[in-house]
Structure 1
Amino acid sequence: MMIRSAPVSDTGLKAFLLALLLLLPALPGAAQQDGQVRVPIEAAAGIAERALLEGQPDLALQLAKGLLQRDPNDAYAHFIAARALMQLKRPRDGRRAAALAYRHARTGMEKFQAAQLAAKLSLDGEQAALAQVWLRRSLLHLPDESYRDRVIADYKILRRISPWSVSAQFSLAPSNNLNNGADGPYSLIDGLPVVGLLSGDAQALSGLRATSNLTFSRRLSGSKTHETRLTGQYYAQRVRLSEDARALAPGAENSDFAYDHLELGLQHITDTGDGPLQFEASAGRSWYGQSPYQWQYQAGIGRGFKLSDHAGLRLSAQYEHHVYDSPLLDPIDTLNLRADYSAKLKSGDRIGLGLMLSKSQSDTANSRQSRAIGYLGYSLAEPVGPAKLSGRIGASLQRYPDYAVGFLTVPGGREDRMVFGSVDFSFQKLDYAGFVPTLTLTARKTQSNVSRFDTNEVSMSFGIRSSF
């Protein structure tokens, strides 16, 4: 009994007949009518496979189209079409066929193969970023875990090949201090017999903070020893005040604490042989409370040093110029100096140390300051239970020599001392397409001789990040 058959036109007829003679010498039902050869549907896929092996993609594509006329959801026919289009040097059409094969595939193995083929065709079509997306999709359908390292290695190669680099981070964090507000209602200044009252929105307001951080870069030029990139960033913060916060500051709105920052820049990196030398410059625009806040311009230089096979040091300097939209604030010029050391221990754990010094100058007295920050970080190589752990502790000292509150000058200037710490949990076993959920616990406390700046915050942040 004949099943509805797939037609093949005169184009490639001789090749088809050759394949038919090789594969189906005694198959009943094969016939030639009106310049077309018709074969049973159950034989068409096998002939198409042989045609691909024999380097006859036109024939394979015709057979795949015939199969799809019968069933547009035939994943295997889409897969054959994608492979034929790859041989025909039509990678973008092939990638679309592979995507349809992935969509209609019924088993994990079929989806893995289709995603891998779509990644290959995306790369052939000079769409390396899209190839990365398809490699991530293939991670969802690994035949077994032995394939994971190979797929991740391929992804890292694509990351180096692609001129584009895109990163996105999102987090949701309950916090007891969304606005960096004071611990209490009183305004006290050490050395002055004056007591004031702080408004509700100057005190700590609790609630929920959501943040997103999108970064991208585009390689403009490069070689084995240098690379120049266009860089960009968009950071956004939104909050939702708790009922307690609304009672404390009834006039405050969620939008009052919205923050947005948009930045564009250039980055140039040169390989010096024993470490990278980096130059960068950028310009940014910020909004606070949905109103224009400031322009920010930066220029910096950084130098990495390879101290050993397992340790490195990075030194950097950065100049910043801030121009505020408020007429009450004069521009601020800041110089930052930084040193970061990192090392991999024999256990596989990693340790990091850092120190940053900064100094700001401005015609606005309250903006003149100096600051020192130090930190110690540690990351465990082996997971603890379901999560990989890393942590950081540190402290900072900030001084404002000419600080005043209204018409009252703070004796000796304002001085803020802060301690901070965080623990990060990365749940690797909950990996989804190379993305893992994270949980970060953060605490910080600031003591100041101006009580408005006595603050503390404890927050718990839920996020998602790439695992490689």
Structure 2
Amino acid sequence: MRRFQVLAVVIALWGAGAAAQETTAVPLDQAGQIAAQALLAGEVELALQIAEAVLAQLPDDRDALIVVAAAAPRVGDPARGRSAGTQAWRVSETDAQKYEAARLTALAAANEERFTLSTFWLRRALTVAPNEEQRAQTIRDARSVTRRNPWSTRLSFSLVPSNNVNGGADSDDCTDAGIFNCSLSEDAVALAGWRASLGFSAQYRLQEAQDSRTFVGLQYQTTRVRITDDVDVPDEAFTTSNYTLSLRHDRALTNGTLGLNASRGRFEYRSLISSTNTTEAEEYDIWRLGIDRRIPINDRTLLSGSLGREWLEYSVSGIGEVDRRRASIGLTYALDSRDRLSGSIAVSDSVGETNKNYTSQDITISATYSWAEPIGPISLSLGGGLRWNEFPEYRIGFTPADKRNDRTMFVNANIGFPRVSYAGFTPSLRIDASQTESDVSRFDRTTLSAGFTISSQF
């Protein structure tokens, strides 16, 4: 067996203190363990020297790699620690060994302020966490790293079966308060199918102080539809994509927070040309400005409110520009059980500069109840509300302008599965149901959908 000389500094305290040094010959395959013992004894630099000496001859010695991963960041070389931790992960054989290597690699990356990489390694640690306690601790650490990270990225995916993927009418009968009779085209009637959505968002913290922070963000989402009804309507007729560039500033006040936001977006969609059964690309641009306020009334009650302005500009000349104002107020209350009950009222006023069909006044009242603790294997929140839409100058074709009123009742359930998790991602199910009654039968609709999504726990 090969041997080498290890300089082990043994310090013993006798009275006022005394130190003795001795040089000991040890087997090479045991030197990594000696380095680990030196690290545990607080001899960080010595442990690092021993471990590096071992790795010079045995590059895949796991004990030595773990020592370097733990010790190098403590002497100011986190990059070396991260490299050693990565290699230790590769040579680890058990889940417990991989968990240790991943945690140390994540810590080294955080010391480099490479927070996104640190989060990646914490996710790898979660895949091999030895028990629930370690898993919970890793999630807490990941949330702490996420808060420190100026970059925030999100990737989302949902697959939703629905009896009305296109927001179509309940029947093909088209009437305007009994004045106008017609039959709707196939694409205007409710169609069953599947809706798949893919979203990506990235946000960067431009500035952060004790009482303020500023973010810039980019969001993208695209939706594809698969129609299961036997109709002569192409799936691409309901394809949409949208892009948004946003800027937000939050400031802490003596009694809550104040937020300012601005955004510029583009929404792309398709219009169906019935004569050729083909689609044509359309789009509209949207600018938004907003202000929001959050005020804690007491330890349990939070009051929130917002004001906003939107300007929409459609590429279709027959629609033109729409000017919209929004306002909302909400209240959230925490019960003794830590369950939360929230309610809100939102109003909007839209003015169609070119097309008066886009002029409307809307009121929405909603409430949500969220359980703090899981109910069996699931987490649960239930919501619902009512919405009223009034179109004072609605017109169909060449019929005289008349008032159109829509009344919508909606309910939803968000069901989470906290016990089902992989790498910090957990699935959830959202169920939505709504029914709209309108003076214009084209807008009578009933919708039921169930969407499966995957979200991050941090």
2:414 to 411, 424, 427: 424
1:100 to 76, 84, 87: 87
2:336 to 334, 346, 355: 346
1:361-380 Cα offsets, whole Å, 9 max, x none, are 12211111110011010112
In the alignment, the residues of structure 2 paired with residue 19 and residue 107 of structure 1 have an alpha-carbon distance, to the nearest angstrom, of 32
1:96-152 Cα offsets, whole Å, 9 max, x none, are 321232233222221221111111111111112222222233233333322344333
In the alignment, the residues of structure 1 paired with residue 441 and residue 328 of structure 2 have an alpha-carbon distance, to the nearest angstrom, of 29
Paired residues of 1:354 and 1:374 also in contact (CA < 8 A): yes
Partner residue in 1 for 2:235:
254
Backbone CA RMSD of aligned residues: 2.2
In the alignment, the residues of structure 1 paired with residue 306 and residue 22 of structure 2 have an alpha-carbon distance, to the nearest angstrom, of 69
Letter in 2 for 1:441: I
Paired residues of 2:7 and 2:23 also in contact (CA < 8 A): no
- The 5 A counterparts of 1:226-241 are 226-241=212-227
Mapped pair 1:387 → 2:378: yes
In the alignment, the residues of structure 2 paired with residue 438 and residue 18 of structure 1 have an alpha-carbon distance, to the nearest angstrom, of 55
Mapped pair 1:156 → 2:147: no
Letter in 2 for 1:272: L
- Of 137-146 and 160-169, the range deviating more from structure 2: 137-146
Partner residue in 2 for 1:321:
311
- Of 331-340 and 40-49, the range deviating more from structure 2: 40-49
Mapped pair 1:176 → 2:163: yes
In the alignment, the residues of structure 1 paired with residue 350 and residue 453 of structure 2 have an alpha-carbon distance, to the nearest angstrom, of 33
Shift of 1:23: 8.3
Partner residue in 2 for 1:196:
182
Mapped pair 1:135 → 2:122: yes
Alpha-carbon distance change, 40 to 131 in structure 1, aligned in 2, over 3 angstroms: same
In the alignment, the residues of structure 2 paired with residue 195 and residue 141 of structure 1 have an alpha-carbon distance, to the nearest angstrom, of 65
Shift of 1:19: 6.0
- TM-score under structure 1 normalisation? 0.87
Mapped pair 1:355 → 2:336: no
In the alignment, the residues of structure 2 paired with residue 441 and residue 182 of structure 1 have an alpha-carbon distance, to the nearest angstrom, of 20
1:377-436 Cα offsets, whole Å, 9 max, x none, are 01122322211111111110001111111101353x111111111111101111222221
Paired residues of 1:341 and 1:352 also in contact (CA < 8 A): yes
Alpha-carbon distance change, 313 to 337 in structure 1, aligned in 2, over 3 angstroms: same
Mapped pair 1:207 → 2:193: yes
- Of 98-107 and 425-434, the range deviating more from structure 2: 98-107
The secondary structure found in structure 1 opposite 2:304 is strand
- The 5 A counterparts of 1:395-434 are 395-411=386-402, 413-434=403-424
- Of 258-267 and 85-94, the range deviating more from structure 2: 85-94
Shift of 1:50: 4.8
1:303 to 277, 289, 293: 293
Letter in 1 for 2:345: L
Q: How many residues align?
A: 435
Shift of 1:189: 1.2
In the alignment, structure 2 segments of 5+ residues that lack a partner are 11-19, 271-279
The secondary structure found in structure 2 opposite 1:401 is strand
Shift of 1:43: 2.3
In the alignment, the residues of structure 2 paired with residue 190 and residue 62 of structure 1 have an alpha-carbon distance, to the nearest angstrom, of 88
In the alignment, the residues of structure 1 paired with residue 194 and residue 56 of structure 2 have an alpha-carbon distance, to the nearest angstrom, of 54
1:437-468 Cα offsets, whole Å, 9 max, x none, are 11111111111111111111111111111235
Letter in 1 for 2:290: G
Letter in 2 for 1:286: F
Letter in 1 for 2:254: G
Partner residue in 1 for 2:104:
117
Partner residue in 2 for 1:442:
432
The secondary structure found in structure 1 opposite 2:393 is coil
Shift of 1:66: 1.8
1:36-70 Cα offsets, whole Å, 9 max, x none, are xxx633223134335645313244223123212xx
Paired residues of 1:275 and 1:303 also in contact (CA < 8 A): yes
In the alignment, the residues of structure 2 paired with residue 258 and residue 104 of structure 1 have an alpha-carbon distance, to the nearest angstrom, of 47
- Of 162-171 and 350-359, the range deviating more from structure 2: 162-171
Shift of 1:237: 1.0
In the alignment, the residues of structure 2 paired with residue 142 and residue 313 of structure 1 have an alpha-carbon distance, to the nearest angstrom, of 40
1:42 to 29, 44, 47: 29
Shift of 1:24: 7.6
- The 5 A counterparts of 1:62-81 are 62-68=53-59, 72=60, 74-81=61-68
In the alignment, the residues of structure 2 paired with residue 210 and residue 75 of structure 1 have an alpha-carbon distance, to the nearest angstrom, of 45
Partner residue in 2 for 1:35:
none
- TM-score under structure 2 normalisation? 0.89
In the alignment, the residues of structure 1 paired with residue 317 and residue 201 of structure 2 have an alpha-carbon distance, to the nearest angstrom, of 31
1:269 to 243, 250, 273: 250
Letter in 1 for 2:299: D
Alpha-carbon distance change, 444 to 311 in structure 1, aligned in 2, over 3 angstroms: same
In the alignment, the residues of structure 1 paired with residue 307 and residue 22 of structure 2 have an alpha-carbon distance, to the nearest angstrom, of 71
Q: What percent identity do the matched residue pairs reach?
A: 32
1:299-356 Cα offsets, whole Å, 9 max, x none, are 0000111011111011100100111111221111100001111111112211110110
In the alignment, structure 1 segments of 5+ residues that lack a partner are 8-12, 31-38
